[in-house]
Structure 1
Amino acid sequence: MTRPYVLLSVAVSVDGYIDDAGPERLRLSDDADFDRVDQVRAESDAILIGAETLRRDNPRLLVNDPDRRAERIAAAGKPEYPLKITVTASGDLDPELKFWHHGGDKLVYTTEAGATRLGDRLRGLAEVAVLGADIDLGALLDDLGRRGIARLMVEGGTRIHTAFLAADLADELHMAIAPILVGDQAAPRFLNPAAYPGAPRRRMQLADIARIGDIALLIYLPKATTDITQDR
């Protein structure tokens, strides 16, 4: 059994925020970058989003281009849409969210307490998988491997991205940097403070740089690192 390849995807402001503190979602990417993200989704077997982001943004989380969906079926023999996954420790999920009513299959990973709180609210909408007393991302990836998921795209939010990087479980990071300054202490950032492996003396490998409209796309390989502890 092989764990899926894990790709983290995020759009951030120049000062490291993923949104502002207002009620409407801040548009960081331009149309060209949204199209790039749609392509990455189409190439993935599953897309994962945290419950906090699900509640805040209420996304559908789809592959929007019909040609890409058709290509998934014709060329790869895959379902029209990637498996959509959310993770919740509390089980606080609203069955009316758009996530449940668009696209293909949905999967919820939760705790024993979260499953009790959920009850049968998502019956007919999603499969619920219990990870135990706590959320264990390693166990989550093991389970996805058993389900045949080879490529997992993780779209946030802050807690989820932090958890994957802190556990050294991310294989690739796509960071789209928008020419925007948010500057609001109440706004969510890309990452929380955490005990990241080797930080701050561990450098990720920069695999590629691209210009997409006014967006700078940086692609990092978090596991392909250089130790910088040596004396200078």
Structure 2
Amino acid sequence: MLLSVAMSVDGYIDDTAPQRLLLSNAQDFDRVDQVRADADAIMVGAATLRADNPRLIVKDQDRQDRRRAAGRDTQPLKVTVTASGDLDPAARFWHHGTEQHRPLVYTTAAGAARLGERLAGLAEVVALGTEVDFGALLDDLGGRGIGRLMVEGGSHLHTAFLSEGLADELHLAIGPALVGDPDAPRFLEPAGFPGGSTRRMRLLDVARLGDVAVLRYLPKETES
């Protein structure tokens, strides 16, 4: 399972303006599209759905065709997570790239009760108990044949997967911008992470895409 995020030099993933802050560039967007095409499923959190209203699809037609030629669905399965069940059935997430499979929604028992009628026919809702258990979530996806999951945010999901030691790979695209707004969302929320602040993750690769630097880390491994 890999985490994918674009952030500013000072660690923010957005600002507080109504429009989404584009921290990446065209070359990096194309890279992300390829990572999506390689994935079996793509996940975003409910806050990202509400803020960005993404379609969350593989955009390039050639990549869709290659998936089809390999016997795969043209689009990866789409997944979201919400504890409260506060999701808009009119969001683009439910209506693009869903011809072959409905999106999955992982939630709590209370969230499932709220979403039952709201997302009827649009998504499969999976209740994980009184709280969202991310280990159980990954087990359920594995049971559905999902071998490669791409998580695109937001802060709560990235923090949960890293703090629980569940992420295998981290793709960190750093855009040449400074946000500096304490009310803006950051890449990670305060948490206790495995190994603490002195642990050094293994750096797998560094790439330059125009004015964006892309770092690939292996969170479960350490530099030797």
What TM-score, normalized by structure 1, do the two folds share? 0.94
The residue correspondences of 1:3-22 to structure 2 (distance < 5 A) are 6-22=1-17
Q: Contact 2:173/2:212 (CA < 8 Å) preserved in 1?
A: yes
Confirm whether residue 134 of structure 1 aligns to residue 131 of structure 2: yes
Structure 1 counterpart of 2:42, one-letter code? I
Structure 1 counterpart of 2:8, one-letter code? S
CA offsets, 1:152-185, max 9 Å, x none? 0000000000000000000000000001011111
Which residue of the partner structure matches residue 82 of structure 1? 76
Structure 1 counterpart of 2:90, one-letter code? E
User: What secondary structure does 1:54 align onto?
Assistant: helix
Unpaired runs of 5+ in structure 2?
none
Structure 2 counterpart of 1:173, one-letter code? L
Aligned to 2:26, which of 17, 25, 31?
Answer: 31
CA offsets, 1:84-109, max 9 Å, x none? 00000000111000000000231100
Aligned to 1:110, which of 107, 115, 118?
Answer: 107
Structure 2 counterpart of 1:54, one-letter code? L
Return the alpha-carbon distance in structure 2 between the equivalents of residues 168 and 226 of structure 1. Answer: 16
Residue identity (%)? 67
The residue correspondences of 1:158-173 to structure 2 (distance < 5 A) are 158-173=155-170
Structure 2 counterpart of 1:80, one-letter code? T
Aligned to 2:59, which of 60, 64, 75?
Answer: 64
Unpaired runs of 5+ in structure 1?
1-5, 228-232
Return the alpha-carbon distance in structure 2 between the equivalents of residues 225 and 55 of structure 1. Answer: 36
Return the alpha-carbon distance in structure 1 between the equivalents of residues 56 and 97 of structure 2. Answer: 8
Structure 2 counterpart of 1:101, one-letter code? H
Return the alpha-carbon distance in structure 2 between the equivalents of residues 116 and 72 of structure 1. Answer: 35
CA offsets, 1:15-37, max 9 Å, x none? 00000111110011100100000
Count how many residue pairs are aligned between Structure 1 and Structure 2: 221
User: What secondary structure does 2:5 align onto?
Assistant: strand
Runs of 4+ deviating beyond 6 Å: none
TM-fit CA distance, 1:117: 1.3
User: What secondary structure does 1:39 align onto?
Assistant: helix
Confirm whether residue 40 of structure 1 aligns to residue 35 of structure 2: yes
The residue correspondences of 1:206-217 to structure 2 (distance < 5 A) are 206-217=203-214
Return the alpha-carbon distance in structure 2 between the equivalents of residues 101 and 213 of structure 1. Answer: 33
User: What secondary structure does 2:202 align onto?
Assistant: strand
Return the alpha-carbon distance in structure 2 between the equivalents of residues 166 and 149 of structure 1. Answer: 22
The residue correspondences of 1:119-158 to structure 2 (distance < 5 A) are 119-158=116-155
Q: Contact 2:115/2:125 (CA < 8 Å) preserved in 1?
A: no
TM-fit CA distance, 1:226: 4.8
Return the alpha-carbon distance in structure 2 between the equivalents of residues 99 and 62 of structure 1. Answer: 9
Confirm whether residue 91 of structure 1 aligns to residue 88 of structure 2: no
What TM-score, normalized by structure 2, do the two folds share? 0.97
Which residue of the partner structure matches residue 230 of structure 1? none
Return the alpha-carbon distance in structure 1 between the equivalents of residues 7 and 73 of structure 2. Answer: 30
Confirm whether residue 178 of structure 1 aligns to residue 204 of structure 2: no
Return the alpha-carbon distance in structure 2 between the equivalents of residues 145 and 73 of structure 1. Answer: 21
TM-fit CA distance, 1:201: 1.9
User: What secondary structure does 1:23 align onto?
Assistant: coil
